[in-house]
């Protein structure tokens, strides 16, 4: 547990560098305060048709292609 705490505070201090680092408990409170509406708002900002990309790696048959294109529409 001490290693986890040290890692937590190290990341807070080095990467995020707030004036006062959040404790894990305070961060957990922030996470629990997120509402479903907040998630939907972020999803609607990120997943818009203009930003869509589709990449296939590996074998991809014509049947899978037709099915996938149908799902994306």
**To the nearest whole percent, how much of the chain has pLDDT over 70?**
92
Residue 58: the pLDDT is: 78
Average pLDDT over residues 42-50: 86
Question: pTM of the predicted model, to two decimals?
Answer: 0.46
Rounded Cα–Cα distance for residues 62 and 68 (Å): 10
The HSE-up count of residue 24 (CA atoms within 13 Å, CB side) is 10
- Has residue 35 got a pLDDT over 80? yes
**What would the mean pLDDT of 21-35 be, rounded to a whole number?**
87
CB atoms within 10 A of CB 9: 14
């Amino acid at each position: 547990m001490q290693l986890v705490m040290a890692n937590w505070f190290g990341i807070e201090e080095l990467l995020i560098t707030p004036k006062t680092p959040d404790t894990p408990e305070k961060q957990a409170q922030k996470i629990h305060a997120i509402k479903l509406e907040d998630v939907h708002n972020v999803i609607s900002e990120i997943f818009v048709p203009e930003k869509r990309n589709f990449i296939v790696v590996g074998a991809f048959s014509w049947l899978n292609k037709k099915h996938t294109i149908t799902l994306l529409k």
